[in-house]
Structure 1
Amino acid sequence: MNASRRTIARLVAPVLALALVAGCATPPPADDKEAVAEWEQVNDPLEPMNRAVFEFNLAADKYAIKPAAEGYRAVMPKFGRERVHNILSNLNSPLVFANDLLQGEADRAVQTFFRAMLNSTFGLAGFIDVATPAGIPPHEEDIGQTLAVWGVGEGPFLMLPIFGPSNPRDTVGLVAEMFADPFDLAMANIGREYISYARMGMTGLDKREDLLDTLDEIQRTSLDYYASLRSLYRQHRASEIKNGRGGGEKIPAPGLSRTKSGEELSQSAQ
């Protein structure tokens, strides 16, 4: 296990262990139906700990992550940021393809395959997204979604250090992806792990820059910023698991672990 993966495992493992214990937390008395319904809806028995982690994340974001994203936006024109996003998205294609197959989504797997082929060749290694204009739009799949399709329950809501909103199922998926990503494995085999580190950093920077204005607006208009992000994350993941079929709007999750379009998140929060 390389250094970056050991560090991430140390960050998430204690929080995940506590979440698994909290999964056995006692709900309100069964005769208090209103309290039970609210407890089940919120699904956050670890809320005091989660809020403490959230405060840590806010501090890290204020003093390090957000300034880096603002600097990235200031020095890199939109055209350049879009090219970086395209390359990062293309590098993630093997994982998306594998999860398409594991979920039995043959049509989506075919789309992912041809999208990756087009963008890797005619799109110059993903520098240009030629697949979307050709009628093959992008979609996201991950191991957490695959576990959900296989019937694994989400467990209680969980706030991870730095990575943000999650749950035990998605946290297991996140850690698994760190060891299963073909690109990272290839870089490790040839002794170029620093390229994987750079990719990880650029992925976080790309996601945070995309959500700069959106998260500022949600924080400004929310009575409880933590509760708003918790709700948005759970709605988004429910929709992703169903691939948008009968699962409500596609609401992106604010956080480094699962984040999509800032524009969509802004619209959903209004």
Structure 2
Amino acid sequence: MFKPFLAAFAAVVICGCSSIPIEKQDDRDPLQTLNRPIYDFNMDVIDSYILRPVTVGYVAITPQPVRTGLVNFTTNLTTPTDAINAALQGKPESLGINTARFLINSTVGVLGLFDVASSLGLKHHDEDFGQTLGVWGVGDGAYLMLPGMGPSTLRNLTGDVVDNVVLPEIALTTPQTIAVFAFKAIETRAQLMAQEKLLHESLDPYIFVKDVYFQRQLYELYDGNPPIKEEPEDFDEDFLENL
């Protein structure tokens, strides 16, 4: 099942490395010669032939109320992870809100299918272990383009392992964890359809993706109040999460 993708990926790396357009030295991206062909593979193979077609079909056959309920349900499942990270970051308000959200939505909200907590003014606080490491003073590390997952950094890759493997395993089985991850990837891709034009019209999509990723990480690390505000014009801050 995976052999065609591995072969295609190997071909992209081998054939692409000799003609990779290298930008001016970027200290954040020392692995650019490897990252660029992986980006091409993600976009030209995985997104074009798998993720986007699946997402288009999902949007076409799934009513919006059902989609909203599924989003609420998966968000509620991962809310305890947000609460744990809020505690590790020393954010008692976020800890309290996320804990209250989980209790309310898991009961009154019918296992999280309905976001009752938001109607009570308890808005979701997204806290991940990558942010936790940042709060603890850990630097980004090298920029990474991961096959099938998209942009990351050494710090955030470590955070993703903790958030998506270590902590969920406390309450979820491995198949359930994979199912949640797959659904979030499809739903996030659906929300990004409107942003495709910006990516395609950029002079260098690879650099565009990288710059937006770092801006978004800075925005999240400082809870929406970064010391230097650098946001791309007319651009959704959720872009690129699962490209």
**TM-score range for the pair, normalised by the shorter chain length:** 0.7 to 0.9
TM-score normalised according to structure 2 size: 0.82
Partner SS state of residue 72, structure 1: helix
The aligned residue for residue 206 of structure 2 is 226
CA RMSD of aligned residues (A): 1.8
Q: Distance in 2 between matches of 1:151 and 1:197?
A: 30
Q: Distance in 1 between matches of 2:26 and 2:185?
A: 32
Change (3 A) 1:222 1:195: same
Q: Which residue of 1 aligns with 2:179?
A: 198
Judge which range, 241-250 or 44-53, deviates more: 241-250
Q: Is the 8 A contact 2:218 2:226 kept in 1?
A: no
Please name the residue that 2:90 is paired with. 104
- Deviation track 1:103-134 (CA, whole Å, cap 9, x = no partner) reads 00001110111111111111111101111121
What amino acid sits opposite 1:224 in the alignment? D
- Quote the residue 2:26 is aligned against: 39
**Paired position in structure 2 for 1:213:** 194
Q: Distance in 1 between matches of 2:48 and 2:226?
A: 37
2:125, 2:209 → 1: CA distance? 22
- Is this contact kept in 1: 2:140–2:155, CA < 8 A? yes
Quick one: distance in 2 between partners of 1:66 and 1:218? 16
* CA distance, structure 2, for counterparts of residue 197 and residue 156 of structure 1: 26
**Aligned 8 A contact 2:164 2:177 in 1:** no
Paired residue secondary structure (1:159): strand
Partners in 2 of 1:240 and 1:220 — Cα distance? 25
Match of 1:159 in 2: 145
- Give the Cα separation in 2 of the matches to 1:198 and 1:167: 24
Q: 1:60 to 1:236 in 2, by over 3 A?
A: same
1:244-255 correspondence runs (5 A)? 244-247=224-227, 248=229, 251-255=237-241
| Cα distance, 1:186–1:116 mapped onto 2, change above 3 Å | closer
| 1:72-151 mapped onto 2 (5 Å cutoff) | 72-151=58-137
Residues 135 and 221, structure 2, Cα contact 8 Å, conserved in 1? yes
Matching residue's letter, 1:201: A
CA offsets 1:136-184 (integer angstroms, 9 cap, x no match): 11121111000000000001211111110110000111112233224x3
Please, which of 147, 155, 170 is the counterpart of residue 185 of structure 1?
170
* CA drift at 1:253: 4.5
Whether contact under 8 Å (2:31, 2:143) holds in the other structure is yes
Q: Secondary structure at the match of 1:137?
A: coil
Partner of 1:57: 42
Q: AA paired with 1:180? A: V
Unaligned residue ranges in structure 1 (runs of 5+) = 1-34, 258-270
Whichever residue aligns with residue 237 of structure 1, its letter is Q
> Is the Cα–Cα contact under 8 Å of residues 165 and 253 in structure 1 kept in the other structure?
no
Which runs of 5 or more structure 2 residues have no equivalent in the other structure?
1-23
Q: Could you tell me how far apart the structure 2 residues matched to 1:221 and 1:144 are?
A: 30
Contact kept in structure 2, 1:236 and 1:251, CA below 8 Å = yes
Matched to 2:213, the amino acid is: Y
Q: Does the aligned pair in 2 maintain the 1:232–1:252 contact within 8 Å?
A: no
Deviation at 1:213, TM superposition (A): 2.0
The runs of 4+ residues in structure 1 deviating greater than 4 Å are: none
What's the % identity of the aligned pairs? 33
Give the whole-Å Cα distance in 1 for the aligned partners of 2:177 and 2:49.
Answer: 24
Tell me, in whole angstroms, the C-alpha distance in 2 between the residues paired with 1:92 and 1:51: 31
Measured against aligned partners, the alpha-carbon deviations of 1:189-240 in whole angstroms (never above 9, x if no partner) come to xxxx4333322221211111121222x1222321111111111110000110
Distance 2:241 2:113 in 1: 25
Q: Is the 8 A contact 1:179 1:185 kept in 2?
A: no
Counterpart pick for 1:238 among 183, 206, 218: 218
